[in-house]
Structure 1
Amino acid sequence: MSSSPRFDLSQTDRLLSTTRSVRKRLDPARPVPAEVILDCLRLAVQAPTGGNGQAWRWVVVTDAAKRRELARLYRESGRDYLQSANDQASHPQTRRVYESALVLADSLADIPVHVIPCIEGRVENTPNVASASHFGSIIPAAWSFMLALRSRGLGSAWTTLHLSKEEEVASLLGIPYESVTQVALLPVAYTTGGDFRPAARPPVENVTYWDDWGSVRGV
């Protein structure tokens, strides 16, 4: 019998199934203490990395002027795309996603903390195995960070639109562009309103293949 302690599966499953992309329910008025961010990052860096590289770096932006500039670059990068995608969306859930993304684009400057997960090195024009290892050493940590936020009453959303202006963002924040890759921009704030619910997703039996691509089986 395993000696590992059991987790409360009901709480663990609720955390995993209700950590949503939060955009419209981020509270711009409530300050986020630096120690809360650091607590969440302490958990984040426990995530596995390729080759025990530990090459993640985190840029936490609280300066109002820099947040305004990040928001400007974000809107410049993708607001027109979001508006066009929203106008063309036919599925109600997809439309709600784009509508909330537009709200975030317009309110990003007011969100009290922006966190940019980074990883040392760049992988342009490299084989897929190198890219997968590279990003696989930062994305699990960033997701752990978002789970830790959720468990403390905060929310965030995985956004990447600013990456089309990555070099300008690097200049703004002093990130060494030639040797460090930005992976996302995570707006962080306490959340408002009630609790979050699991999202509608297709049955995993329909998207899980056994031994051969396209080979599905029932429960």
Structure 2
Amino acid sequence: MAELLPLDPDQLLTTTRSVRKRLDLERPVPLEIVREALEVALQAPTGSNSQTWHWIVLTDPELKRKVGEYYARSFAVYSQNQAPRDETGQRVASSAQYLADVMGEVPVLVIGAIYTGGDLPAGNQSGVWGSLLPGAWSLSLALRARGLGSAWTTLHLAYEKEIAELLGIPKGIHQGVLLPVAYTVGTDFKPAGRKPLDDVLHIDGW
């Protein structure tokens, strides 16, 4: 069992960041550590306790390289359509560009997917993704507790069909998130700046 960082629950929740430039691309990540974190993630809730999620863990260099190429292609389009950014936005953009450049070199890629049996519903899809995304976030937290970092990404979904064919993902399984996983350079992450609670809090109505 991996040694856990000395973080209380609030520290874990407030210091689990999207890690990009501080991903250690050189240090191998044992598959057993990823499995251990996924065992924790499987305790997350799913609608009607359906547990229809699937987790595709990539360690093969060639598969990672190909997924990384799709991701970089999608990021190039995304970045061209972004409005001018302030200083904070520029830092985030630089970090995101770095991740796009090295996605295929990250030690482990994890794709979270869910069984739907067919096409996604045309209307509100919260019932679908609400049965996958809590588990993916729990995975991020479990990785952080073990000294690893990840970054929540979805840009690969522009090429969901191609990646499904590459990885042999059957029809009726929809991908929802891609998490690059690596040990972090240092573990001293801090809470991020956020809007004041009262700016977004509504009690008994809007």
TM-score normalised by the chain length of structure 1: 0.87
Asked if 1:195 is matched to 2:176, the reply is: no
Question: Which blocks of at least 5 consecutive residues in structure 2 are unaligned?
Answer: 1-6
Contact 1:83/1:98, CA 8 A, preserved across alignment: no
Q: What's the secondary structure of 1:46's corresponding residue?
A: coil
Matching of residues 159-170 of structure 1 within 5 Å: 159-170=153-164
Counterpart check, 1:146 vs 2:140: yes
Higher relative contact order (CA 8 A, sep 6+): 2
Greater C-alpha radius of gyration: 1
Structure 1: 5+ residue stretches without partners: 1-9, 214-219
CA distance in 2, matches of 1:144, 1:194: 18
> Which of 166, 175, 200 is residue 207 of structure 1 equivalent to?
200
Tell me the equivalent position of 2:8.
11
* 1:1-219 equivalent positions in 2, closer than 5 A: 11-82=8-79, 84-85=81-82, 88-121=83-116, 122-128=118-124, 131-176=125-170, 178-193=171-186, 195-213=188-206
Alpha-carbon distance in structure 1 between the residues aligned to 2:50 and 2:190: 35
Question: In structure 2, what is the Cα distance between the partners aligned to 1:25 and 1:181?
Answer: 29
Aligned equivalents of 1:72 and 1:164: distance in 2? 12
Following TM superposition, the consecutive aligned residue runs of length 4 or more in structure 1 with deviations greater than 4 angstroms are none
Identity %: 49
Cα distance in 2 between the residues matched to 1:13 and 1:195: 15
Partners in 1 of 2:140 and 2:128 — Cα distance?
20
Give the superposition deviation at 1:80.
3.5
How far does residue 139 in structure 1 lie from its aligned partner after superposition?
A: 0.2
Structural RMSD (CA): 1.4
Q: Which amino acid aligns with 2:165?
A: S
Describe the SS at the equivalent of 1:133.
helix
Sort the Cα spacing of 1:182 and 1:33 in 2 relative to 1 into closer, same or farther, 3 A: same
Relative to structure 1, is the Cα distance of residues 125 and 119 closer, same or farther in structure 2, using a 3 angstrom cutoff?
Answer: closer
Instruction: After TM superposition, give the deviation of residue 200 of structure 1 in Å.
Output: 0.4
